[in-house]
């Protein structure tokens, strides 16, 4: 089964084994495309983590989108959601954890 990684990095968000792709290319419903693109855009705007970037809320939104994507694609893809790891340092590099959605 083909893996599909969901991670708002490099201002994309969807990564197949051979590179980035877009939600429109995977036949997501239009409203899901819009919400997913907004989630990725928020990451790109806050990639340097200015004050006010909330990793916990951002991760929860991403996980909910990943679950909706899993429901949308069914068994065509194995979904891997990559989330931002917590940090207590404002200048810490962004690091990611990963979970497989069932």
Per-residue pLDDT tens digits for 49-59:
556 678 889 89
Residues in the chain: 102
- Render pLDDT for 13-42 as a digit per residue (tens, 0 to 9): 999 999 999 888 898 999 999 999 999 988
Q: Which of 20, 18, 1 is nearest to 9 (CA)?
A: 20
Q: Residue 66 is part of which domain span?
A: 2-100
Rounded to the nearest 10 degrees, what angle do helices 30-45 and 55-73 cross at? 150
Ordered alpha helix ranges (H), 1-102: 30-45, 55-73
Residue 4's pLDDT band (cuts 50, 70, 90): very high
**0.85 surpassed by pTM:** yes
d(CA 61, CA 74): 20
d(CA 80, CA 100): 5
User: Residue 95: what pLDDT?
Assistant: 79
> What is the domain count for the chain?
1
């Amino acid at each position: 089964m083909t893996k599909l990684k969901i991670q708002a990095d490099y201002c994309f968000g969807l990564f197949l084994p051979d590179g980035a792709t877009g939600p429109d290319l995977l036949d997501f419903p239009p409203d899901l495309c819009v919400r997913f693109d907004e989630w990725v855009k928020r990451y790109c705007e806050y990639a340097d983590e200015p004050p006010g970037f909330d990793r916990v809320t951002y991760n929860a939104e991403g996980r909910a989108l990943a679950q909706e994507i899993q429901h949308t694609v069914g068994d065509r893809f194995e979904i891997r959601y990559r989330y931002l790891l917590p940090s207590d340092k404002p200048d810490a590099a962004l690091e990611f954890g990963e979970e497989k959605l069932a």
